[in-house]
Amino acid sequence: MSHVKTAVSLDEDLFDRLEAAAEEMRLSRSRLVGLAVEEFLERRRSDALLAQIDLAYEGEPDPAEVALLRRMALQHRQVVEGEW
């Protein structure tokens, strides 16, 4: 994997906390920043996916979905009760 150098300005308190955490975890600052950015981007992607899922399930089911759900429930009941 290739690496790209970059310069980032941080608040002094944040930098000090970064230094302390990197030392405690026995990681380089660069590695810790990379891990933090990876986690942030993954969380952001997950949040976007959840928003899409929420949008897909928004609102009431249409009549065809209601009928399908009823048939599925009946079939499930028959399987559980051994009538299938």
- Mean pLDDT estimate for the chain: 93
For 36-54, what is each residue's pLDDT tens digit? 999 999 999 999 999 999 9
What confidence score (pLDDT) does residue 75 get? 93
What confidence score (pLDDT) does residue 84 get? 63
Q: Are 18 and 8 in contact (CB under 8 A)?
A: no
**d(C-alpha 30, C-alpha 57), whole Å:** 41
Whether the per-residue pLDDT at 70 is higher than 80: the answer is yes
- pTM listed for this prediction: 0.64
Radius of gyration of the chain (CA): 25
- Dihedral sign, CA of 38, 40, 41, 45? positive
In the chain, where the domains are located: 12-80
Task: Provide the 3-class DSSP secondary structure of residue 74.
Answer: helix
